[in-house]
Every structure is written in C-alpha cells, then in structure tokens.
Amino acid sequence: DVQRGEKEKYKQLLELVKEKYPRSRPNPQLTSFCNIQAYSKEPVTTVSHLEEQKYGGDVYPCMTLRTMRVRVVAIPSCPWICRIHFCLYYTPAENSHEQGRPVKQAIAGRQYGAEISEEVFFQLHLAPALSRKSSVLDVEEKKFPSSEKTVERFSPLTEAMEREVIAAFGKGEPDEIMSSAFKLKVTREDIHTLRNLRWLNDEVINFYMSLLVERNKKEGYPAVHAFSTFFYPKLISGGYRAVRRWTRGVDLFKQDLILVPIHLRVHWALVVIDVRKKTIKYFDSIGQKGDKICETLFQYLQEESREKRNLELTCSEWTLRSMEPHEIPQQLNGSDCGVFMCKYADYISRDKPITFTQNHMPYFRKKMVWEIIHQQLL
C-alpha cells in the first residue's frame, strides 16, 4: 500500500509539472524550432534534508525541499525555451556513515519551459518505497503480477564486486573519472547517482546504452543503435536538420533495434524502434502514454529514409503504441525510473521478456556500477 501510494504521488508530480508548464512535452513540426543551447554541467544547488516517517513500523526517509535556486538560461529567439541544471542536496538518514555531509543527487539537467518553481517539488512529499527484509536474490521464482511471465533469478555479486561498488560510492573527488570509453567519461559524482533512491543522470544512462550497443556487436544478439539522451531534445527543438548528421556512418535501417532514451522533465522513459517488426513502442515505468513521442520519432524516420535512402516509409506498415502498465514492470517509488529505463533496454536488446520487478532495483544499481567501471556487462 505504501509503494502504491508513493507511485501515485510521483504521477501527481508529473501532472503538476505538465499542468504548470504545458510546453514540457511538445509535439511540434520538426522544422519549426530553434536550437537549444548546449547542456551545461555546472550545478546550481538546492538544499533539502531527510526526515523520517513511519509506515506500519517501517522507517522510510522522505525528501523535503527547503530552498531552491535555479539558474535559467534563456534563448532570445525562443524566450520560452531555457536550459536548467540543478541538484538536490540532502543530509543522509540517521544510520548513514556519511551523516551530516552534503551528498549530491544529480537530476537529469535538461529542462524546457519556464523555470521549475519550488512548489512543484514540495507539493508532493515523496517517500521512497523500500523493499522488505527478504533478499531479492534469495527469492524463489514467482509469477510476474498480471502476467504469465516468470521472474528471472540473478547471481549475487561476489564479495570483491561488492567492495568495488562500496569504494565507488565512497568519499573522493566528485570530478574523479571512474570510467572512460565510447568518447564518454563517468565521474564519481555521476556514479553516485546510482546509489539507492537517486535519479540517474545523462552521463550514466549514455554510458550504459553504449555498453548495450557494444555487447550486441557479438554474434547471436540483434544489431542495436542507441541514441544519446540529448538526441530527442535536439530533434524537437531544431527538427530533422539539427540531427541529420547524428547518423553519419550509421544506417538505421540496417539495425534490428533503435533505442531512444526520453527525458520528461522529472522522469525517464524509453522508445524502442524495432526495424524488423516495423514497430515503435513507448515504455514508461509509471504507465504514461507516449503516443505523441512515437509519432515524432516516426516523422524523424520518414525524414531519415528520404534523406539517406530516397525511399518513403509506408505508414500503414508501421505500428506505433504505448505499452500498457500491465505489460511491463512498473516502478513503485519516485526515484527508479532511470534504472527501469536502462533495464527495459537491456532486456529488449537481448530479445528477452521483461520480467524484473521493483525489488530488483537495488541489485541492478550495484550491478550497473560494476559494469560501468569495468566497461562490460555481466
């Protein structure tokens, strides 16, 4: 009940954002928007602290915003478009070994519309829904809710792996580079977004998507191309011309799968373009619809086909749809959307049924830390 309550609060947060900033999810003509200024990693801090609330004897830390300062960069030609990068700072819960030390939670820092006001975030008091005492890895196989899929069992991380994860989460310079590959760099600060109940940032997601693409170069896996998290914002802001060169050297229509991470102000989702089956599907861990996003990406494919192959796609041959909540695993808190999105991509890129649950999130987070540091998927 607590988990369901927290999921509802998270949905309400997204609704508040959409109502207050109706342009946050535009479906524009792809050629009518100006370019958005390049993303900046310079943080602008907000201050918050953890409080504890008890639900039926269990303790759940709750985020409460105190103050917020947001840096807004407006673009003269498009005054309603601006880019914001901000972070939440909080004091860890009482038993944390880092009590009293500010810890940065990086929030995906690419926002559209006017500045996000403080009230949007603290009108909803989000308490992370923690798993019960039973270990995820020790649970016997059980049926996935509302389906006939069987939950996969995972091998626990070794003691050596656990020590590496703990070290990565430990103290150190925020700018220390923990992994470098694919022309990307992941810092200790970025890795810390994989700690429990944190929101994943662009760097972590882009690196993980690159790992999926690298793995799928092996025989037996479908051919996969993954776009950067910056692709979709660039597409809707500048149209096809702004992203025409993003596929230089890549023939999208020779791929089996195309992964498109989607950032929705305070939420991550995924679009999967299956070239083999001619489908475009939207995967959202809180059950939102993404039909407009699918349409925008189909328009992009049309332009790409005309430009690169001089061929027109037949609309009637393609299926666009949003996955229903009962079809895919759903998050039960307000912090795991990024991990859900990454794991959707992982399972789909292996042509496997998506059978994980909310309870697997702490395990997946630690596993992703090890995989990013070692630049290989387990």
Between CA 281 and CA 271 the distance in angstroms is 6
Of 366, 369, 374, the C-alpha closest to 137 is: 366
Q: Is 284 a catalytic residue?
A: yes
- 83 CA to centre of own chain: 18
Check 190, 202, 274, 284 and give the catalytic one.
284
What does the chain come to in residues? 378
Q: Is 337 a catalytic residue?
A: yes
Task: Report residue 175: phi and psi, to 5°.
Answer: -90, 0
Of 179, 308, 310, the C-alpha closest to 247 is: 308
Contact, 30 vs 296, CB < 8 A?
Answer: yes
Of 283, 281, 276, 275, the C-alpha closest to 304 is: 275
Between CA 304 and CA 313 the distance in angstroms is 10
Residue type at 12?
Answer: Q
Of 354, 226, 350, the C-alpha closest to 284 is: 354
Q: Name 320's bridge partners.
A: 280
Task: Report residue 346: phi and psi, to 5°.
Answer: -60, -50
Sequence-ordered list of residues with C-beta below 8 angstroms from that of 236, at least 6 positions apart, any chain: 26, 28, 30, 33, 296
Q: Is 62 a catalytic residue?
A: no
Check 192, 263, 267, 360 and give the catalytic one.
267
Between CA 343 and CA 324 the distance in angstroms is 17
Check 337, 342, 346, 360 and give the catalytic one.
337
State the catalytic residues.
Answer: 267, 284, 337
